Amino acid sequence: MCDENKNEKVCEDKIKDEATEAHESAAEEAPKSEPESSAKESTHDERVAALAARIAALAAKGDEVIASLNKKIDEVDATYGQKAAATNSQVESFAASMQAYLEKAANQFAKDLDVISRSIDEELGSNVAEDKSQEPYVAQFTPAAQAYRDRMQVGSGSDLLLTDPEFVERFANFAFDDVPSDVDLPDRTRFICWLATLLGCQGIDEFRALLPAALNMGVEPEAVKETVYQATAYLGIGRTYPFLKATNDVLTDAGVELPLKPQATTAPTEESRYEGGEQAQVACFGEQMHGYKDRGAADYPHIAQWLVKNCFGDWYTRGGLTIPEREMITFCFIAAQGGCEAQLKAHTAGNVQCGNGRDFLIKVVSNNVPFIGYPRSLNAMAVVEEVTGAKE
């Protein structure tokens, strides 16, 4: 450092000289460091080269190991293939032996079984497998009965054909061959009588089964409904209600839209019902029925009044059936339920009055025999004889 007391020029020269010395000193020291750096680089390269050589050696060793493993695998594969081929040959030989054995055993079994079967046949004298008595019985319908069943379109779905074929055979041959052959009635009339008779004897199951056939044979839905409606006056709602339900079920299944068109011709007033009922009574029983509502018993005059306005005024005046047809079904109701011979006599006379004569009533009774049996049919025939015998 320059002394503050010395002049400025001397100080500047001093500083320059010191800088020059420092520069020269640094220049002298620089060449001394180059040999040390070169030595370090030479050592590093040698280490890298040595490491590369070791890696190359390891890679070569790995290739040798892999090649050895592949060789061993090939040797194992060859050995396994030979053993597998030998095993397959043994299996095939065993299978062929078993097949031959089984075929031989099966042939021998068949021969032994045939011998046993022949021995049994000779001992029993017949072949049990061909015993026709073990076969289920099949109903044998007469050609006429089968043709009638075909027209009714009843099909063969009845359970009774499986459980009771002989019964079905005998009933069908009687009801659908003997009866139609011996009793000449139009199909529609025949089936209306059968439906009315089944109502009278409470044959609800047979009614339900027969109703589809009745529709197929020309009985209109209106005629069916009117038959059930009118039966209420002679059987009571307790006995007709199930039939009304069954009728609705069958009609619905047949595609008939309910309710049907109204059939009433009288208004729901006493005057209209009395007037219509009296006209129906006169048509059935003659002119003496005028004023019948006023001729009831002193103790129960209402019964005669009900007969006019309800039994005849409410039901006989309706459409769907004619007056003669209504008297015919009434005859069937009463004959089928039995025990009502006094009323059966009155309605036998009513039938005759409206055109259903003796011969027709005999046909009706005969037609209904399969559905109510002989006792009630013979009782009804006796009434017809009693009422019409003297007249015809």
Q: How far is CA 148 from CA 155, 167, 368, in A?
A: 11, 17, 16
- Give the separation between CA 160 and CA 37, rounded to whole angstroms: 122
Would you place residue 131 in the very low, low, confident or very high pLDDT band (cuts 50, 70, 90)?
Answer: low
Q: Extract the tokens encoding 52.
A: 């590369």
Q: In Å, what is the CA distance from 174 to each residue of 58, 140, 145, 206, 223?
A: 112, 12, 8, 16, 26
* pLDDT single digits (tens) 83-117: 777 777 787 877 787 787 777 777 787 777 777 77
Q: In terms of pLDDT, which residue wins out, 33 or 374? A: 374
pLDDT at 181 over 90: yes
Q: Which span out of 135-139, 177-181, 386-390 was modeled with the highest average pLDDT?
A: 177-181
Read off the pLDDT of residues 28-83 as tens digits, 9 standing for 90 and up.
544 444 455 566 667 877 887 888 888 888 888 878 878 888 888 888 777 777 77
User: How far apart are the C-alpha atoms of 174 and 385, rounded to whole Å?
Assistant: 25
User: Got the DSSP string for 260-301?
Assistant: PPP---S-SSHHHHHHHHHHHHHHHH-GGGTTGGG---SS-H
pLDDT tens digits along 201-248? 999 999 999 999 999 999 999 999 999 999 999 999 999 999 999 999
Domain regions of the chain by residue span? 136-182, 265-314
CB 171 within 8 A of CB 165: no
Q: How far apart are CA 128 and CA 52, in angstroms?
A: 99
- Any idea what the Cα angle at residue 146 is, between residues 373 and 209, rounded to 5°? 55
